[in-house]
Amino acid sequence: MYFNFVESSNYYPRSELMKTKNSRIPKYFQMSVSDRQEVLASSLLLKEEQLNVLKNATDGLPLAIADKMTENVIGTFPLPFGIATNFTINGKDVLIPMAVEEPSVVAAASNMARIARSTGGFSTTYSGSIMIGQIHVTNIKDMDEAKQALNDAKLELIEKANTYDQTLVELGGGVKDIELRVLELGTSEKVLIIHLLVDVLDAMGANAVNTMAERLTPTIEKLTGGDVLLRILSNLAVYRLASAKVNIPFLSLETNEFKGQDVAKRMVLANEIALADPYRAATHNKGIMNGIDPVLIATGNDWRAIEAGAHAYATKEGQYSALTKWYTDDKTLYGELTMPMAVGIVGGATKTHPMAQLSLQLMDVKTASELAQIIVAVGLAQNMGAIRALATEGIQRGHMTLHARNIASQVGRNPEEIDWLEQVMIEKKDVRMDTAKSLLNKKLISE
């Protein structure tokens, strides 16, 4: 079958998430930047050189390194680098770095993680590190004969593919199996698709998988009598799923306007709508990625690949749908998120970017499995925050409160004016650029 989703794998053993000191840092958002740095350093026992990377974050990616990472480099583009607090994942506390420009993302994740702490936080699993390398063969005269030839030569093909990355194989990775699919195009032409199932261990795996697929091309063409057209990995990493679960007592969901049980029911209904309506599902899943992408960026991972895999996985039932499930019993709200998570901690930007290396150190991540599980937990927390707000007060109240600082900073000429503008716009519940300008003009005239 095209979608062969798995919940577990014997290819790669799971690792426990590493322990940090304590992710619960009350009023962290109220501290100055320098105080946040010092508290973080104390909590995680950072070395002086690690703290200096944070303090000199504008120099976090030297031009000499950037110039080797991509083409035509003329500078670097910094993003705000924040810490999501309060996370407990598989019983271990984790402080999570997030590189993101959008207001409310870090705050929402941290707030939901705080609520989840009382019941043990998030539990997560990882199905393994198998990536799919696809080889598409066209112009095959006899499909059955070609498939039989490939099946007969499977062990030979696996052995040959594994000669192209001896280091990966020595570490326990490499091609583990080969699958065959036949695809009928709109033109009625049939294409034979070969899936190399490659255990890439702690890498994202693109380079290893693509090399193996390309090197097998002559052999594949000889065996099938066809022409290899495409040979590249698939970002629909269905053998590399990360899952997160959380349970929240109704009491923890209460607001000034809603009882906890009502909040839970409204959240479940909001999720059911996203399961049924692809227009809503697109925004629902975007909210999940609001939490996931910043951690991917902070760790130097390919956020575009994870986005592609997530949205493709969202169609597994035949229609684009929500990636999460929320449901209740008589006392508790339960949430689940499962999605492809092909992340790496070796190679690429994760090894060359100083801030990416620091991010992995802050989380004490030692394996790709650990990183994948942390990231999916953040995605579930972010979704929890989004649908809780949507189903109760509306998304704008909290978002615009945080956005007020951004608007005030663009209009105010000094810290005093910025603080005043932020406070007045929040009180008036009117956070807009023209409002800020009008308020400041009136203030200046009155003075």
Query: Which residues are annotated as catalytic?
Result: 102, 286, 302, 399
CB 130 within 8 A of CB 240: yes
Alpha carbons 446 and 328: distance in angstroms, whole number: 55
Q: Using DSSP bridges, classify how beta strands 130-138 and 174-184 pair: parallel, antiparallel or unpaired.
A: unpaired
Whose structure tokens read 């649908």? Answer: 387
CB 269 within 8 A of CB 387: no
Amino acid at 164: Y
The Cβ of residue 107 has, within 10 Å, a number of other Cβ atoms equal to 18
Alpha carbons 193 and 20: distance in angstroms, whole number: 45
Alpha carbons 116 and 248: distance in angstroms, whole number: 6
The 3-state DSSP class for residue 423 equals: helix
CB 275 within 8 A of CB 321: yes
206: closest CA among 135, 157, 133? 133
The full DSSP string for 61-114 is: S-HHHHHHHSSS--------EEEEEEEEETTEEEEEEEE--STTHHHHHHHHHH
Whose structure tokens read 């498939």? Answer: 147
Whose structure tokens read 């093909």? Answer: 157
Q: Which two tokens stand for residue 17?
A: 């998430």
Q: Using DSSP bridges, classify how beta strands 190-199 and 227-233 pair: parallel, antiparallel or unpaired.
A: unpaired
Q: Which two tokens stand for residue 1?
A: 């079958």
Alpha carbons 49 and 357: distance in angstroms, whole number: 12
Q: Which two tokens stand for residue 60?
A: 């976090």
